[in-house]
Each structure stands twice: as structure tokens, then as C-alpha cells.
Amino acid sequence: MTLLGHRPLVQEAAALRSGADDPVDAVRRTCDRIDAVDPQVRAFVPEDGRRTRLLEAARELATAGPPDPAGRPALYGVPVGIKDIVRVDGLPTRAGSALPPEALAGAQAVVVDRLRAAGALVAGKTVTAEFAVTAPGPTRNPHNPAHTPGGSSSGSAAAVAAGMVPLAIGTQTVGSMIRPAAYCGVVGFKPTYGRIPLDGVIPNALSFDTLGWYATDVAGVALAASVLLDGGRGGPGRPEPAARPGQLARPVLGVPVGPYLERAGAEALRAFKEQRAQLGAAGYEIREVPVMDDFDAVVEQLFTMNRYEVARAHADWFARFGDRYREQTTAAVRQGQAIRDAAYEAARTRRTAFRTRLAEASAGAGIDLWLAPAATGPAPADLTTTGTSIMCLPWSNAGLPSLSLPAGRAADGLPLGLQLIAAEGADEALLDAATGIEGVLNGAGGEEASGR
């Protein structure tokens, strides 16, 4: 499939704000692209009357919006996909499930309020794994429809990769933003845990759930961050934040050597070695840091908390509609029901200790960003799975901001991703640094890409 369609987000938004483009024309392009591509990719939840709804919204925006381009908000007229666990006024929320939408209904999510305040238009709901757990939806990988797009934010990643929208919202509990970004060859960003309110989002595991988004480049992700993050630059009513730790033009990069990194497959490790060489040649200092010797115990701790919280989040729905849940989600709920409160509290204590150890390892090694494969390899040729989230697990466990950059190809031509992870709260530092690293990986190289 030719991955064409919308311009990158920054260019799309600039053209719409300036008046060089028109929201009605942007909507027509969006709907034309969805009509042409989505029957194969299946990234969007089917919606009768999508074109009529969007054209009406675009005309209303063009009529009621500021006539002066200087007064138009950052995402004026930009069509956005919204993962179908995020409530949107006027659209049903099904969460990839067979439950009645009225059982899942509620107030519109804060993240959608912020998008609409910034002038964005909701192109539609994007497919999610059932309840953002592991039972895959119908979405295909735009690079090869026989391969998974990842999960659980499968539809959002695929919609951006296939050029249907320049921006799409997803969520990550363990690896649901970063892995699909790597599999689909787009930039995916998961902020620090808690930097966007989860109001209006159907929970998976509330100690980990984090909203995030996809664009085709870091500049687009950063533009969206400016209006979505609490304290984001330029967001409605949110002042410019103070400089955060690690906000350097050329950060020191740390490689987490040990059992964690050994979970990556041969192709991912080969590409990771090449990426490290590229960055080193561009002037980045890279330090190997032994860390997570107890990685198996970390995995067990996270899933103890995760499954316990899944079961509690679904207690009412599962009691009423348990026969409508898919096998994988039912198994997760049942596992969580068997976990006692004491085991959960012990896991919470162990997570706090893990976060402290990880922060101390980073500070002790003098690094600004962790560097790791975004996934264990390319997207599997298996539509019954969303792949493994293991390469994202420790960073989600620690609540750290992370980002996946497209970084090379596997032997079969499918995309691979490089994961960057910053300190808690250093989201802006991560995005600033990722711009330079993106330039190196894209061949810009040299002094400009590394910030010199």
C-alpha cells in the first residue's frame, strides 16, 4: 500500500490556520482517503454518515471560527482519530467489545475537550483491542495486511500510517502506544503518567493507563503536546513550563544492558546496534548501564497490579455482560479476580522500589535518555495477536515518558522502531531531544541533527 494522504501534522495545521487550506476541503480529503483505504486497513470503527457529520462540523468551524488567521487555534480544522475507549460526544463508545454502547456511555473525555478547544475535528473512532487488553480488533498493518498493526491502539497507529489522518489519539497501559508505532512505522508518544487527565476514558489498569498520540514525525507529536499536556506549551490556560531535567540539545544516552535488553529478537538487536553506531557517529555519547537484573520479577509485579486493576475496573460490566467478553479479556479478568488485596499491595510496594532503583541507575550513570528497541522485532505475521509489549513494560511500570521513532526496516521490509525514554516529567526534554535523533536516523546526521 502506498502510504500517502494527509500532509504531516505541522504542515496540515499551518495550511489550515493560514487560510491556504480550508477545513471543508480537509474533511473531503479525509473522507475520500478513508473510503479508499479503510476497507483494507480497517482502522476506523464503521460510522454511517461520517462525511455528512464531518462536513457539517467543518462548515460550522469555518463560519464560527476566528476570521483572522492569527486568532485561529493550533489544530484548527485538523481531522483526528480517537481510540474507541475515549468518549466523544455524539459518537458511541464500544471499546472494541460486544457490550451495548449505552452501558459504556459517559461524559466526553477531557482530551477530546482539549482537541476541540484547539480547533480539531473528530474524524471518527479508531479500532482498539477489546477494552484495550489483548483481544485484537480487525485492523491490519498498512505495510502488509497479513501482519498485525500491534495493540491495543491498533486503529490509531494504522490510521496515521495509512495517511487517513495526520493525528490520532491512543492509550498505553503497558505497550499499547509504542509497539503499534514501531510496527506501523510512525512516531508514537506516551507522556509521563498523569500528565493528561483520564476523565472520560474507559479504564484498563488505572495505575498505568496513559493517553498518547501518533503523528508521522516528532514535530507533529510536539505540536499536539503543546495543547494536550497539562502545563504544555501554548495549551489553553496552561503556561510555558519551566525547563525540565535533561533538556539538552544533545543528551547522553543510556543503553539498559542485561535481561531486559535480551528479550529483544535478533532483527531488533541488529537494527539497534546500527542505530547506536549512527548516533555515536553523529556525536552522541552512549553509555551502557547494567540494570534490571531482576527483570522477571518486575514483569510479575506489573502483571499482578495490572490484572488486579483490570478485574476491579470491570467488576460491574463483567457481572452483567460477562458472556459477551472475548476469551483473552475474560482470562485477564479471571486472573485479576484471583489476586488478593495483600498480593496487590505488595506489588505496589515493589513497584515504588523499582522506580527508585531505575531513577538512581539513570542518575548514577549520568544519562539523560534511555535508548532501547521499541518492540522485540517487526510486526508478526499473525492477526490473532497484537504482539508482545515486553520492551515497553519497565518504562510504563515506572510511569516514564517514552517515544518510538521509525528506525530502519526488517528483512521482510516491515518497519522497526527505536524507543527513547526520559525522566519522569521530562516530556518536553524528550521531544526536544527526539528531534535531533530523528534527524540522524533519517540521514540528516552531522552537527545540525545532534544539536551542535
In this model, does residue 448 exceed pLDDT 50? Answer: no
Grid coordinates given for 403:
517515544
pLDDT for 444 equals 62
**What is the C-alpha to C-alpha distance for residues 93 and 83, in angstroms, rounded to an integer?**
9
- What integer is the mean pLDDT of 44-72? 95
In this model, does residue 428 exceed pLDDT 70? Answer: yes
pLDDT bucket at 234, cuts 50 / 70 / 90: very low
Look up cell 493560514; give the residue: 18
Q: What's the burial of 384, exposed, middle or buried (CB within 10 Å: 0-12/13-18/19+)?
A: exposed
Backbone angles phi, psi at 142, to 5 degrees: -60, -25
Q: What is the pLDDT of residues 280-298, one digit of tens each?
A: 999 999 999 999 999 999 9
| Active site amino acids | 83, 152, 176
- What integer is the mean pLDDT of 255-260? 98
Q: What Rg, from alpha-carbon coordinates, does the chain have?
A: 21
- What integer is the mean pLDDT of 261-274? 98
Q: What is the pLDDT of residues 159-191, one digit of tens each?
A: 999 999 999 999 999 999 999 999 999 999 999
Q: What is the pLDDT of residues 95-147, one digit of tens each?
A: 999 999 999 999 999 999 999 999 999 999 999 999 999 999 999 999 999 99
pLDDT for 102 equals 98
- What integer is the mean pLDDT of 403-420? 97
pLDDT for 231 equals 78
pLDDT bucket at 66, cuts 50 / 70 / 90: confident
- Asked which of 20-29, 171-180, 442-451 is least confident by mean pLDDT, the reply is 442-451
Q: What is the pLDDT of residues 359-397, one digit of tens each?
A: 999 999 999 999 999 999 999 999 999 999 999 999 999
pTM (predicted TM-score): 0.94
Q: What is the pLDDT of residues 116-127, one digit of tens each?
A: 999 999 999 999
Grid coordinates given for 275:
542505530
* Nearest one of 348, 362, 430 to 397, comparing CA atoms: 348
